[in-house]
Amino acid sequence: MHLSYEHIHDYDFKHRLYFKEDIDIDSKLFYSVPTSFFILDNRIPEILRELITEAEGSLKMNFLTGASACMRKTIYELLIIEKCSALNYDDKIKELKTKYKDTDHELFNILGHIKDMTSDKVHEQSWNKWDSHALKLIIETLKAVLYDIYVVPAIKAERSKAVLQLTKKVKGFK
């Protein structure tokens, strides 16, 4: 969140900063989203975007259990959306890997490790192998996979459509 670049404040006689009375400060605030390859595109299903956003928020607060739970839920939701019918998690990930051959298979292998953080390990065993770096890896990997699954095909379709439109215009001149 940023304050406006407009000059909306003044100083009193003791050189203390204050805002002018007739200024609506709330209308002067704006939000900025950093440009990044890893920003979630609207073509990714909303439930997945919301869960990833929640996981990132939890990770920023160092709530590792909450972040990992959100990531597991996100991956399970992806498997449901993609109608993976295998019985166990590893086979479902393999099914996704087979379905999306253009996506780097190593990304799916990384996603397979989210199951290492099971309920037993959270409640009964030590949890030292999971840290913020491991969760960040899972989050960014899933974002890359989702980009390949939902955004890249849409971009290709849009480009193909644009090229076909240009082709029709060129053929019209002959």
Specify the DSSP element, H or E, that contains 100. Answer: none
Specify the DSSP element, H or E, that contains 7. Answer: none
Average pLDDT value for the chain: 82
pLDDT at 169: 83
Query: Does residue 112 have a pLDDT over 50?
Result: yes
d(CA 115, CA 124): 16
Using alpha carbons, list the distances in angstroms from residue 81 to 41, 46, 86, 87, 135.
Answer: 17, 11, 13, 15, 22
pLDDT at 37: 54
Give Cα 103 distance to the centre of its chain. Answer: 17
What is the domain partition of the chain in residue ranges? 1-32, 43-157
Can you say whether residue 17 is alpha, beta or left, with left for phi > 0 and alpha for psi between -120 and 50 degrees? Answer: beta
The whole-number average pLDDT for the span 84-107 is 94
Nearest to 59 by CA among 134, 109, 119: 134
